[in-house]
Structure 1
Amino acid sequence: MDNEPIVFQMKIAKSKPHSYRPAAKGVTKRCPFCDVAGLTDIYEQQGEMIWLHNKFPTLRDTLQTVLIETSDHEGDIANYSVAANRKLMRFALTCFEKVNKSGHFVSVVWYKNFGPNSGGSLVHPHMQIVGFEKVNAYKYLHPNNFEGKTLFKTTEVEVNIAEYPVQGYTELNINLLDKRGLSLWADWIRSGARYMLNVMFNGRCDSYNLFFYPRQDGGICAKYISRFAAPPYFVGYKLSQVNDEVTLMQEAHRFRQFFADGSKLE
């Protein structure tokens, strides 16, 4: 049975900076991503976007990298301009593809944490691209995890509310089917962050994960998962839960209208 866990190296984790925990007495918190002059092991830089080696590789048998999105410590996809977010998605996709096509890894993942309940450690906006030398990170996923109630579709981009979520209950799938639609894909991703933080759950959601999955047809799925306490069925049995059909259809309609309105939070 292929259920070997990835190994978390606690000794390295103890020295990691953490924005969400209170600082020790007499210690002033400093954000390492704000100190651009002090950054090392940089792979690529494009304006304020910097892709570099992770100084705290907490996972054994991996290459862990970080992509700093902006110099704005309080930035996020939800408040980037349309142009800035399009540049970010294009740059991040290029970095991901370089690792993924290197041939050095069994699998490569690309994701973003946002908010105190996301599992992240630093507030400063960043993504992570991680190459696994021995583990297939996608072994528990299925193609239908990226399918659902379609609310928008062209030959280049398809957007849906997941009917077969990875965790549940409501997940937004934003599928890039053809790279010619990358700008439109980025715009839907931007609206997804705004929708999740301000409309879904009536604004009670302050955290999310954004995962990027290579699709079997050569495309890529950007999946938003809202973060609260994980359901016990998922924690104990890896059983995801999904909202009923009426609720999914209502959510699909609301998200489609939100995007069509040009995002009411401009």
Structure 2
Amino acid sequence: MTKKDRNLIFNPYIAKEKPSNQDACPFCVKDNLGKILDERGSFLWLENKYPTLENAYQTLIIESPEHLGDVSNYQDDYVVSLFDYSIAKWQELKEQGDYKSVCLFKNFGPLSGGSLRHPHMQIVGLDAIDAQAKLEDLYFEGLVVVPQSQDSAEFNISLNPIMGYSEFNVRAPKERIDLLALMTKRVTLFLLRDYFQGRCQSYNLFFYEQEDQYICKVIPRFIASPYFLGYLIPQCHQLERLEEVKSEFLASQKR
């Protein structure tokens, strides 16, 4: 497969019709939504009304009726239910067998690539692209902050990040989605409250399936490095800085 074969084609004519955060929020009114595929409690799985990608099936999960809700501030039982539901629908679309790969991810904040504040995740089926074909196991390994145990998912800081700087990996057995959800909540709260003295206001979540585990990669978002944009060279923090971040996270958990 050539690089061109991995390109996602974006349709700007559909994109310009999408509402922004300056408009009335379309996710706050159920009548404004696209085709609803499934509903469980406050969660809605629906087709994206503005499918901006060619050769892809774009869907959304509306996480909450609360416009300012977020993984970082949901109650523990709510974030566990959200992860359980989202991963189930991700697997459901995979099992249909209609797509080369299916992606589950979340954008949060102005630098994350998202266009609307209302909390939502995205599940996207790609007709011809294997989204994980170029990913290596080492992207999900790193400096262990919290080890995996019966009561906790593993949380590590990548020593070989995909894009660069700090990338946080949360790993848990497939049967312990609750641990994956609760640790991800702790990491996102740390990012928004403590990381870089609270100057981080955007992040992404990316979900992966690896043998008997699910992985959630949490990426704090700032302006992208020109070395990565121009040359695909990730910039990485010194190990000393990663040790500082580890200590800052552990200290934040004692509040």
Q: TM-score, normalised by structure 2?
A: 0.94
Q: Which runs of 5+ in 2 are unaligned?
A: none
**1:58 partner amino acid:** T
Q: Aligned pairs, how many?
A: 251
Give yes or no for contact 1:168–1:225 (8 Å, CA) kept in 2: no
Aligned to 1:210: 205
Partner SS for 1:141: coil
* Percent identity over paired residues: 37
Q: Does 1:241 align with 2:235?
A: yes
The within-5 A match list for 1:93-108 is: 93-108=87-102
Give yes or no for contact 2:174–2:214 (8 Å, CA) kept in 1: no
Shift of 1:255: 2.0
Q: Does 1:62 align with 2:56?
A: yes
Give yes or no for contact 2:33–2:49 (8 Å, CA) kept in 1: no
> What's the CA shift string for 1:215-258, capped at 9, x where partnerless?
2x232211111111100011011111211111112212322343
Aligned to 2:3: 3
Q: Which residue, 78, 89, 92 being the options, matches 1:84?
A: 78
**CA distance in 1 between partners of 2:215 and 2:231 (Å):** 25
Aligned to 1:31: 25
Give yes or no for contact 1:68–1:127 (8 Å, CA) kept in 2: yes
Aligned to 1:167: 163
Aligned to 2:194: 199
Q: Which runs of 5+ in 1 are unaligned?
A: 24-28
> What's the CA shift string for 1:151-204, capped at 9, x where partnerless?
22235632101101111201110012x233221221101011100111111111
Give yes or no for contact 1:100–1:107 (8 Å, CA) kept in 2: yes
Give yes or no for contact 2:63–2:120 (8 Å, CA) kept in 1: yes
**1:2 partner amino acid:** T
Shift of 1:80: 0.6
Q: CA RMSD in A?
A: 1.4
Q: Which residue, 151, 163, 171 being the options, matches 2:145?
A: 151
**1:162 partner amino acid:** S
